[in-house]
Structure 1
Amino acid sequence: MHRAIALYSGGLDSLLSIIIVIQQGIEVIAIKFLTGFTSPLKESDLEYARQFGFEIKEINIKEKFIEILKNPAHGYGKNLNPCIDCKILMLKEAKEKLSEFNASFVITGEVLSQRPMSQKREILKLIEKQATLKDLILRPLSAKILPPTKPEIQGVVNRELLYDIYGRTRKPQIDLAKKFGIEKPPQPAGGCLLTDPSFCRRVKDLMQHDELTVENVELLKIGRHFRISEKCKAIVGRDEEENKILLSKGAFIYPSDMKGPVVFLIGQYSAKDIDTAASICAFYSKRKEVVIKLPQEKIKIYDATTKEEIVKYRV
């Protein structure tokens, strides 16, 4: 049996593309690449895999994606989304898995001209070239209006059973979903946090202060964020769940009665920064007293006498 690797986004287009290929008797392994800016696999994804008979895996590329995000060769989209470089990275990673999974080509859910930046005809050619996957990327939804790929030419895939969907319309995909028995079609796989202007402002702040790391990106997804100095920022928990996450991280400030937000500090902080962060905690908790606790590696910056020291800040 022939086998293919599919880039799985969690959206309808990638799911349909997988089903189209499976129906030609080809085994498919779907890969969800984790960049740190898109959601991980959901239970609904696993249900689709069981329903239609494909294997599904997660692969972490967060560190590699961070490096691309800092300086994408092909620039950003409307916000901070490096769509072209992101797709090239994913395809390169998929290519490396071809031999491991004994697969011969790659499937994507791309639709010609659906997205203005990354799905133009010339851009698809560019991506294919830079991913070094010439004639090995099958796009089942638009295949009939694209040049034949190697699996089509070799008869592994029947081109007549592929589609000619073009542009931003969603009707053909919805009709296909009904045909394949998908009762609750997933939404298009937007979902990238780098298309959200407010989230991008937080990312830009990290980039400007040389703090863009995988761990710090995860923290961008929770709390209120305050840049309190060039080398320090504070994150304020908004609910009990966020407080628990921040308490597990290290340097923190909290109301003395534990009723209110936890404040977590990123970067190098001075006594003045501590004072500012404590004031923020007091403001949001509406408490007269907050507790400051610092981890050992930061004590020198704060100039405390012992690593166990707890300093009370009064307003």
Structure 2
Amino acid sequence: MHKALALYSGGLDSLLSVLIVKEQKVDVIALKFLTGFVSPLKEDDFNYAKQFDFEIREIDISEKFIEILKKPKHGYGKNLNPCIDCKILMLKEAKELMSAYKASFIITGEVISQRPMSQKKELLTVIEKESSLQGMILRPLSAKLFPPTKSEIEGVINRNLLYDISGRTRKPQIALAKKYGIEKVPQPAGGCLLTDPSFCKKVKDLMAHNELTLKNVELLKVGRHFRISEKCKAIVGRDEKENKLILSKYKGLFLYPSDLKGPVVLLSGDYSEKEIDITASICVYYSKRKNAEIVIKSETEEQRKIYDAILEEEVVKYRV
């Protein structure tokens, strides 16, 4: 049996592309590439894999992606999303895995003109060339709008059973979902945090201070962030769950109200008494009081001091 690797996003298009190819008696291994900015595989994904009998795996490319994010060859999208470079990286990684999985071609769920940056026909051609996969990438949903691929020419794939979908309409995909008996239709793949303007603002802050690492990116997903000084940041827990997470998972200086009625704040980087005082006053502000006794706890010592809340206009100055 012939094998193919599929770039799997978790959206409907990538799932349909897997099913279209499987229907032609090709064994498909679906690969979810983790960049550090997208969600890992979910329960629904494993359910689809079980229901439709295909393999599904996660591949961590986050370290390589971070380096690309710093200076993408093809630039960014509307926010901080380097979509073209990201797709090239994923395809290159998939290409490296082809021999291990004994796969002869690669599948993607791309649809021409569905997305303005990375799914224009001319850009898809560039992506294919730069990933050194000319003629090896099958896009089942838009295949008839491209020249035949190697798998079609060699008779592995019947081109007549592929599609010519283009644009942003979802009607053809919804109809296909019904055909294949997909009861819980996945949403269009998205969820990359680099398309979120507020999250991108925090990433840009890391980049501006030469602090863009995977560890720091993970921290961005927790709490409210404040740049107290050039080399010092504070992260304020937004609820009880985040407070517990900050205390249990991270290292640094912790600040919180002595009566525990308010946020846990993590202070990291280089700081002095000045930065600690500012952070403590932010902690009081988010505990919704005019003043409070704040615990300041390091690995080796603990002290308590009463602080006044920072003024609202000052909060904005430090907020990332």
The TM-score with structure 1 as length reference comes to 0.94
Distance 1:245 1:210 in 2: 25
Q: Secondary structure at the match of 1:173?
A: helix
Tell whether 2:102 aligns with 1:102. yes
Question: Does structure 2 retain, via aligned residues, the 8 Å contact 1:112–1:120?
Answer: yes
* 2:269 alignment partner in structure 1: 267
Question: d(CA) in 1 for partners of 2:120 and 2:251?
Answer: 46
Deviations 1:165-203 (A, max 9, x none): 011111100110011101121110021111111111111
* 1:292 counterpart = 2:293: no
- What's the counterpart of residue 146 of structure 2? 146
CA distance in 2, matches of 1:275, 1:21: 61
Unaligned runs of at least 5 residues, structure 2: 308-320
* SS of residue matched to 1:99: helix
Find the counterpart in structure 2 of residue 57 from structure 1.
57
Note the alpha carbon deviations across 1:257-298, whole angstroms, 9 max, x for none: 223211012322222111111111122223621111224xxx
Listed as ranges, the matches of 1:224-263 within 5 Å are 224-248=224-248, 249-251=250-252, 252-263=254-265
What is the alpha-carbon distance in structure 1 between the residues aligned to residue 165 and residue 201 of structure 2?
35
Amino acid at match of 1:291: V
Query: Once the 2 structures are TM-superposed, how far is the Cα of residue 161 of structure 1 from its aligned partner?
Result: 0.6
Partner residue, 2:305: 313
Q: Residues of 2 paired with 1:270 and 1:123: CA distance? A: 50
Q: Do 1:233 and 1:265's aligned partners in 2 also have CA atoms closer than 8 Å?
A: yes
Shift of 1:216: 1.2
Q: CA deviation at 1:18?
A: 0.2
Q: Which residue does the alignment assign to 1:283? A: 285
SS in 2 for 1:31: strand
Q: Which amino acid aligns with 1:168?
A: R
Task: In structure 1, give the amino acid aligned to 2:267.
Answer: L
Instruction: Give the Cα–Cα distance (whole angstroms) in 1 for the partners of residues 211 and 281 of structure 2.
Output: 24
Match of 1:189 in 2: 189
Q: How far did residue 310 of structure 1 move?
A: 1.4
Q: Secondary structure at the match of 2:5?
A: strand
Distance 1:266 1:123 in 2: 42
Deviation at 1:29, TM superposition (A): 0.5
Q: Measure, in 2, the Cα distance between the counterparts of 1:267 and 1:35.
A: 25
**What is the root-mean-square deviation of aligned Cα atoms in Å?**
1.1
C-alpha separation in 1, matches of 2:26 and 2:270: 54
Following TM superposition, by how much is the alpha carbon of 1:226 offset from its aligned partner in structure 2, in angstroms? 1.1
Contact 1:8 1:108 (8 Å CA) reproduced = yes
Q: Which structure 1 segments of 5+ residues have no match?
A: 296-307
Deviation for aligned residue 1:152? 0.7
Aligned mates of 2:135, 2:285 — CA distance in 1: 60
User: Aligned pair count?
Assistant: 303
Q: Among all aligned residue pairs of Structure 1 and Structure 2, give the percentage whose two residues are the same amino acid.
A: 72
In structure 1, the partner of 2:8 is: 8
* Inter-partner Cα distance in structure 1 for 2:3 and 2:109: 17
Question: Aligned pair 1:26/2:30, yes or no?
Answer: no
CA contact (8 A) 1:278 1:313 kept: no
Q: CA deviation at 1:21?
A: 0.4
What letter corresponds to residue 302 of structure 2 in structure 1?
A: I
Amino acid at match of 1:140: P
Structure-2 residue corresponding to 1:76: 76
Scaled by the length of structure 2, the TM-score of the pair is: 0.92
Whole-angstrom CA distance in 2 between matches of 1:153 and 1:170: 29
1:267 and 1:101 map into 2 onto residues whose CA distance is: 44
Whichever residue aligns with residue 221 of structure 1, its letter is K
Which AA in structure 2 matches 1:247? L
Stretch moving more, 178-187 or 255-264: 255-264
